Protein backbone atom coordinates (compact mmCIF):
# COMPACT_ATOMS: atom_id res chain seq x y z
CA UNK A 1 0.00 0.00 0.00
CA UNK A 2 2.80 2.42 0.83
CA UNK A 3 4.49 1.61 -2.47
CA UNK A 4 1.34 2.54 -4.40
CA UNK A 5 0.96 5.83 -2.54
CA UNK A 6 4.59 6.79 -3.15
CA UNK A 7 4.17 6.01 -6.88
CA UNK A 8 1.09 8.23 -7.09
CA UNK A 9 2.86 10.97 -5.15
CA UNK A 10 5.89 10.82 -7.47
CA UNK A 11 3.65 10.82 -10.57
CA UNK A 12 1.89 14.07 -9.60
CA UNK A 13 4.78 15.82 -7.79
CA UNK A 14 5.88 17.69 -10.95
CA UNK A 15 2.39 19.16 -11.31
CA UNK A 16 2.25 20.23 -7.67
CA UNK A 17 5.66 21.95 -7.91
CA UNK A 18 4.61 23.78 -11.08
CA UNK A 19 7.35 22.37 -13.31
CA UNK A 20 4.67 20.91 -15.63
CA UNK A 21 1.06 21.75 -16.38
CA UNK A 22 -1.63 19.15 -16.02
CA UNK A 23 -3.96 18.47 -18.95
CA UNK A 24 -7.26 16.75 -18.33
CA UNK A 25 -7.70 13.53 -20.31
CA UNK A 26 -10.14 13.56 -23.20
CA UNK A 27 -12.05 10.37 -22.48
CA UNK A 28 -15.38 9.86 -24.19
CA UNK A 29 -17.23 7.47 -21.89
CA UNK A 30 -20.73 7.63 -20.42
CA UNK A 31 -19.48 6.66 -16.95
CA UNK A 32 -16.61 9.17 -16.90
CA UNK A 33 -17.18 12.22 -14.73
CA UNK A 34 -14.92 15.16 -15.55
CA UNK A 35 -13.16 16.51 -12.47
CA UNK A 36 -13.33 20.21 -11.70
CA UNK A 37 -9.78 20.29 -10.37
CA UNK A 38 -6.65 18.28 -11.16
CA UNK A 39 -6.64 14.83 -9.53
CA UNK A 40 -3.81 15.64 -7.13
CA UNK A 41 -6.06 18.16 -5.34
CA UNK A 42 -8.67 16.98 -2.88
CA UNK A 43 -12.24 17.38 -4.17
CA UNK A 44 -15.72 16.22 -3.24
CA UNK A 45 -17.26 13.04 -4.55
CA UNK A 46 -19.79 13.50 -7.32
CA UNK A 47 -22.36 10.81 -7.82
CA UNK A 48 -22.28 9.38 -11.34
CA UNK A 49 -25.25 10.07 -13.57
CA UNK A 50 -27.90 7.34 -13.67
CA UNK A 51 -27.63 4.87 -16.51
CA UNK A 52 -30.11 5.42 -19.27
CA UNK A 53 -31.38 2.86 -21.69
CA UNK A 54 -30.85 4.14 -25.21
CA UNK A 55 -33.90 5.92 -26.49
CA UNK A 56 -35.55 6.25 -23.05
CA UNK A 57 -35.50 9.26 -20.81
CA UNK A 58 -35.61 9.25 -17.03
CA UNK A 59 -39.13 10.29 -15.98
CA UNK A 60 -39.15 13.61 -14.16
CA UNK A 61 -42.42 14.86 -12.76
CA UNK A 62 -43.09 18.55 -13.15
CA UNK A 63 -45.39 18.58 -10.15
CA UNK A 64 -43.30 16.31 -7.93
CA UNK A 65 -43.78 18.54 -4.86
CA UNK A 66 -47.55 18.27 -5.22
CA UNK A 67 -47.32 14.49 -5.44
CA UNK A 68 -45.21 14.33 -2.27
CA UNK A 69 -47.65 16.64 -0.45
CA UNK A 70 -50.65 14.52 -1.41
CA UNK A 71 -48.85 11.36 -0.26
CA UNK A 72 -48.22 13.01 3.12
CA UNK A 73 -51.85 14.03 3.43
CA UNK A 74 -53.04 10.52 2.56
CA UNK A 75 -50.66 9.00 5.12
CA UNK A 76 -51.90 11.40 7.80
CA UNK A 77 -55.54 10.67 7.01
CA UNK A 78 -54.89 6.91 7.13
CA UNK A 79 -53.15 7.18 10.49
CA UNK A 80 -55.95 9.36 11.87
CA UNK A 81 -58.53 6.78 10.82
CA UNK A 82 -56.64 3.97 12.56
CA UNK A 83 -55.46 5.71 15.73
CA UNK A 84 -57.62 8.83 16.00
CA UNK A 85 -59.80 7.20 18.65
CA UNK A 86 -56.79 6.94 20.98
CA UNK A 87 -56.35 10.71 21.09
CA UNK A 88 -59.76 12.29 21.68
CA UNK A 89 -58.47 15.57 23.17
CA UNK A 90 -56.48 16.63 20.08
CA UNK A 91 -58.02 18.01 16.94
CA UNK A 92 -57.00 16.25 13.74
CA UNK A 93 -55.32 19.39 12.38
CA UNK A 94 -53.24 19.94 15.52
CA UNK A 95 -51.43 16.61 15.57
CA UNK A 96 -48.39 15.97 13.40
CA UNK A 97 -47.72 12.89 11.29
CA UNK A 98 -44.75 11.93 13.44
CA UNK A 99 -46.94 12.02 16.55
CA UNK A 100 -49.43 9.75 14.81
CA UNK A 101 -46.62 7.32 13.97
CA UNK A 102 -45.55 7.27 17.63
CA UNK A 103 -49.13 6.57 18.63
CA UNK A 104 -49.20 3.69 16.15
CA UNK A 105 -46.10 2.17 17.77
CA UNK A 106 -47.45 2.46 21.35
CA UNK A 107 -51.23 2.16 21.20
CA UNK A 108 -51.62 1.33 24.92
CA UNK A 109 -49.94 4.52 26.14
CA UNK A 110 -52.09 7.45 27.28
CA UNK A 111 -51.58 10.23 24.73
CA UNK A 112 -53.94 12.83 26.12
CA UNK A 113 -51.11 14.62 27.92
CA UNK A 114 -52.53 14.31 31.43
CA UNK A 115 -50.17 12.99 34.06
CA UNK A 116 -51.05 11.85 37.55
CA UNK A 117 -49.94 14.37 40.18
CA UNK A 118 -47.12 13.39 42.49
CA UNK A 119 -48.06 12.57 46.06
CA UNK A 120 -45.65 14.25 48.46
CA UNK A 121 -44.06 12.64 51.49
CA UNK A 122 -45.73 13.44 54.82
CA UNK A 123 -42.47 14.46 56.54
CA UNK A 124 -40.63 16.24 53.68
CA UNK A 125 -41.37 17.72 50.26
CA UNK A 126 -40.00 14.82 48.17
CA UNK A 127 -42.32 12.66 46.05
CA UNK A 128 -43.52 9.38 47.52
CA UNK A 129 -42.24 6.09 46.11
CA UNK A 130 -44.93 4.52 43.95
CA UNK A 131 -44.48 1.02 45.39
CA UNK A 132 -43.54 2.05 48.92
CA UNK A 133 -45.52 0.18 51.58
CA UNK A 134 -45.23 3.09 54.06
CA UNK A 135 -46.11 5.89 51.57
CA UNK A 136 -42.85 7.77 52.20
CA UNK A 137 -39.99 9.05 50.08
CA UNK A 138 -36.84 6.93 49.87
CA UNK A 139 -34.89 8.97 52.41
CA UNK A 140 -37.63 8.98 55.07
CA UNK A 141 -38.48 5.33 54.39
CA UNK A 142 -34.87 4.32 54.94
CA UNK A 143 -34.77 6.11 58.28
CA UNK A 144 -38.08 4.53 59.36
CA UNK A 145 -37.13 1.01 58.26
CA UNK A 146 -33.65 1.20 59.84
CA UNK A 147 -34.92 2.48 63.18
CA UNK A 148 -37.86 0.06 63.35
CA UNK A 149 -36.06 -2.94 61.75
CA UNK A 150 -38.84 -3.37 59.19
CA UNK A 151 -38.85 -3.99 55.43
CA UNK A 152 -40.01 -1.94 52.46
CA UNK A 153 -40.64 -3.90 49.27
CA UNK A 154 -40.91 -0.79 47.08
CA UNK A 155 -37.51 0.59 48.05
CA UNK A 156 -35.98 -2.88 48.54
CA UNK A 157 -35.02 -2.29 52.16
CA UNK A 158 -34.62 -5.55 54.14
CA UNK A 159 -33.58 -4.32 57.59
CA UNK A 160 -35.53 -7.02 59.44
CA UNK A 161 -32.93 -9.53 58.27
CA UNK A 162 -30.06 -7.19 59.17
CA UNK A 163 -28.87 -6.07 55.71
CA UNK A 164 -29.70 -3.69 52.86
CA UNK A 165 -30.31 -5.48 49.55
CA UNK A 166 -29.38 -3.79 46.29
Per-residue pLDDT tens digits for 57-97: 656 666 777 888 888 888 888 877 777 666 655 555 577 77
* Same domain (yes/no): 35, 73: no
Q: How confident is the model at residue 18 (pLDDT cuts 50, 70, 90)?
A: confident
Distance CA 16, CA 8 (A): 12
Residue 92 lies in a domain: yes
Domains of the chain: total: 3
Q: Return the higher-pLDDT residue of 30 and 69.
A: 69
CA angle, 91 then 97 then 98, to 5°: 120
Contact 120, 139 (CB under 8 A): no
Residue 17 has a pLDDT of: 83
pLDDT above 70: residue 15:
yes
Which residue segment(s) compose the domain that 144 sits in? 125-166
* Same domain (yes/no): 41, 72: no
**Helix, strand and coil in the chain, % to nearest 5:** 35, 5, 60
* Same domain (yes/no): 77, 37: no
Q: For residue range 93-133, list pLDDT tens digits in order.
A: 577 778 777 877 887 777 666 777 888 998 888 999 989 98
Residue 156 lies in a domain: yes
Q: For residue range 136-150, list pLDDT tens digits in order.
A: 999 999 999 989 889
Distance CA 20, CA 63 (A): 50
Residue 117 lies in a domain: no
Contact 144, 132 (CB under 8 A): no
pLDDT above 70: residue 49:
no
Q: Return the higher-pLDDT residue of 152 and 114.
A: 152
Residue 160 lies in a domain: yes
* Same domain (yes/no): 94, 134: no
Average pLDDT over residues 26-38: 69
Give long-range contacts, CB 8 A cutoff, 24+ apart: 34-38. 38/12
DSSP SS3 for 65: helix
* Same domain (yes/no): 2, 32: yes
Residue 37 lies in a domain: yes
Residue 30 lies in a domain: yes
Residue 52 lies in a domain: no
Residue 138 lies in a domain: yes
Amino acid sequence: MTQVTTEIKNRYQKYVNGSATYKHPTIVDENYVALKYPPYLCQPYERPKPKQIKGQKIPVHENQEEIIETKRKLLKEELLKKYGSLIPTFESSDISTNKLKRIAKKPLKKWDGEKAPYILCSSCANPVGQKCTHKLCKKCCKILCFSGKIDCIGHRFNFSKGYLST
